[in-house]
Amino acid sequence: MDNNSVYIKIHTEWIQMSATDIATIIAAYTGVAVVVGGIAWKLFKTVVRQAIEANTATMEEPINELRHNGGSSLIDVVKLQILPIVKELREHQIIISDRVARLEGRFEQHVDDVE
């Protein structure tokens, strides 16, 4: 038996291995682990980069909405949507006021006729 050899039990058998054999096995496992880890890291970085790019592209529109534009969007909404509604309400208010005035006149005339 050599002083540099070690007995290792694999399953049910004892195998005699030297320190060089064990170092070679450890180096091989380490090399495989480094290669697999490098590939996994590269894939992870690629997936994360694509996810970030996708989210950045979808966030451009909301970011543009947050930038200051002098309030032109608000002015457009007021001019195009709110002012026509206000004008229509004023026209209806005039018509309703006229009808209420006529109705009051008829009511007063009716009260006078009844008395």
61 token code pair: 């529109």
Q: Above 60 in pLDDT, residue 2?
A: no
In 1-115 the beta strands, taken as DSSP E runs, fall at 5-10, 13-18
Residue 12 is predicted with a pLDDT of: 81
Residue 92, Cβ density class (10 Å: 0-12 exposed, 13-18 middle, ≥19 buried): exposed
The predicted model gives 13-33 an average pLDDT of 90
At CA 102, angle to CA 97 and CA 107, rounded to 5?
A: 125
Residue 6 makes CB contacts below 8 A (sequence gap 6+) with 16, 17, 18, 19, 22
Residue pLDDT, tens place only, 52-88 = 888 887 776 666 666 666 667 778 888 888 899 999 9
Residue 109 is predicted with a pLDDT of: 87
Residue holding tokens 């969007």? 73
Q: How far apart are the C-alpha atoms of 48 and 41, rounded to whole Å?
A: 10
Residue 48 is predicted with a pLDDT of: 94
The one-character DSSP state at 79 is I
Q: If you count them, how many residues does the chain have? A: 115
